[in-house]
């Protein structure tokens, strides 16, 4: 079941969405409301059937934040393509079911499929960031006809790649310490340490110099998620407390579309080895961003936007029109060029960089 509705805007800089969507709605899947937004792109709502236009689906990431995490991608990408976003279950305007079974990777992938259906999107370039990369793989493996391409940014979940700093602290164990990655623990969150963890994680995610605004946004968004819901999301992904976790490696072999993996070499949340492994398993390309941490979309938005846009242009090629002029008709053009070089031209022309080459302003 799907419905269209205006998007409610909350006050405050961190609560602000990057640009008003052209359409918003809610689709109900398995009893959970999933709120989505559509930006129609340069062609507007009448630029052709939605299913036949180039569409980029920006998946939600970990439930600790909602779709505002894409605030530096949506405005630029929507200048060139139709863009669809949605708040993941447990975050933002979407419903927050109770219980770990509601937060498996398969559940998030099924929500993405429901959003594609609700927005009339036949195929999309699917972009996943952090945990969202695993959901993108699930979607591409299970429904290859709906995924034209896949971009995985800082993939962090589902692959058996060691993370020594984190692996020694079990998420569901009662620990004697709450220092460092021991803060990533359900008992710490539920026992009053949630804010302590959020501050720690914000600094791990945005550790580069001049990241104050990114950390402030993250902390503000995380304050809207309750710790019990976040515990369910992690336990559901890890297969704890009765949840069923689906191994990601076998699914990677079933991905048929072009894949681009982007990972920072200084990622303190999950090492770049995970991105390298995902590229190997899917036969995809790997872009390593030197010195970048876990949040390339927030810290290096221009490069990330262009990487997404380049793959979108590849999987959704646009018709190209060129003009050929007979040799006998080129004389006037040559003489005009010579006159211009000699300074005799009576007209002036200011060269405006194309939007594709301009810098993103987020």
pTM: 0.84
Encode pLDDT of 150-181 as tens digits. 999 999 988 888 888 898 999 999 999 999 99
Confidence check: pLDDT of 294 > 90 = yes
- How far apart CA 251 and CA 106 sit, in angstroms, is 11
**Residue extents of the structural domains in the chain:** 2-12+20-165+249-315
Ranges 32-36, 292-296, 325-329: which has the least confidence? 325-329
Encode pLDDT of 210-246 as tens digits. 999 999 999 999 999 999 999 999 999 999 999 999 9
pLDDT bin (cut points 50, 70, 90) of residue 334 is: low
Share of the chain above pLDDT 90, in %: 75
Encode pLDDT of 57-100 as tens digits. 999 999 999 999 999 999 999 999 999 999 999 999 999 999 99
Confidence check: pLDDT of 279 > 80 = yes
What's the sign of the alpha-carbon dihedral 298, 304, 305, 311? Answer: negative
- How far apart CA 198 and CA 178 sit, in angstroms, is 13
Confidence check: pLDDT of 10 > 60 = no
Structure tokens at 274: 């995970």
Do residues 146 and 139 lie in contact, with contact meaning Cβ atoms separated by under 8 Å? yes
CATH architecture of 2-12+20-165+249-315: 3-Layer(aba) Sandwich (3.40)
Do residues 218 and 71 lie in contact, with contact meaning Cβ atoms separated by under 8 Å? no
Phi, psi (rounded to 5 degrees) for 27: -115, 135
Looking at the chain, how many residues does it have?
A: 362
What radius of gyration, in Å, describes the C-alpha atoms of the chain?
23
Hey, how many other C-beta atoms are within 10 angstroms of the C-beta on 283? 12
The pLDDT assigned to 158 comes to 82
Confidence check: pLDDT of 270 > 80 = yes
The pLDDT assigned to 16 comes to 57
The pLDDT assigned to 319 comes to 80
């Amino acid at each position: 079941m799907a419905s269209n509705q205006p998007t409610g805007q909350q006050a405050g800089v961190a609560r602000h969405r990057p640009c008003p969507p052209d359409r918003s709605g809610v689709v109900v899947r398995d009893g959970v409301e999933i709120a989505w937004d559509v930006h129609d792109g340069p062609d507007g709502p009448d630029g052709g059937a939605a299913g036949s236009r180039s569409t980029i689906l920006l998946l939600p990431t970990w439930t600790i934040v909602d779709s505002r995490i894409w605030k530096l991608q949506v405005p630029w990408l929507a200048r060139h393509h139709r863009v669809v976003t949605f708040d993941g279950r447990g975050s933002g305007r979407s419903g927050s079911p109770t219980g770990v079974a509601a937060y498996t990777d398969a559940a998030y992938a099924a929500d993405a499929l429901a959003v594609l259906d609700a927005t009339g999107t036949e195929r999309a370039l699917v972009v996943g960031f952090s945990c969202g990369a695993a959901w993108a793989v699930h979607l591409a493996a299970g429904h290859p006809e709906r995924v034209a391409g896949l971009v995985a940014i800082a993939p962090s979940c589902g692959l058996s790649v060691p993370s020594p700093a984190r692996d020694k602290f079990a998420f569901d164990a009662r620990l004697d310490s709450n220092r460092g990655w021991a803060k990533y623990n359900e008992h710490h969150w539920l026992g009053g340490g949630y804010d302590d963890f959020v501050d720690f994680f914000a600094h791990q995610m945005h550790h580069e110099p001049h990241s104050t605004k990114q950390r402030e946004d993250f902390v503000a968004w995380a304050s809207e998620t309750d710790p019990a819901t976040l515990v369910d999301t992690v336990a559901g992904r890890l297969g704890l407390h009765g949840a069923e976790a689906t191994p990601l490696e076998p699914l990677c072999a079933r991905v048929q579309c072009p894949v681009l993996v982007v990972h920072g070499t200084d990622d303190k949340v999950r090492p770049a080895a995970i991105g390298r492994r995902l590229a190997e398993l899917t036969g995809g390309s790997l872009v390593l961003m030197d010195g970048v941490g876990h949040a390339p979309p927030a810290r290096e938005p221009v490069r990330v936007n262009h990487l997404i846009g380049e793959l979108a242009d590849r999987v959704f090629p646009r018709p190209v029109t060129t003009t050929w002029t007979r040799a006998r008709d080129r004389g006037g053009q040559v003489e005009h060029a010579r006159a211009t070089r000699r300074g005799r031209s009576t007209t002036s022309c200011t060269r405006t960089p194309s939007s594709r080459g301009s810098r993103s302003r987020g």
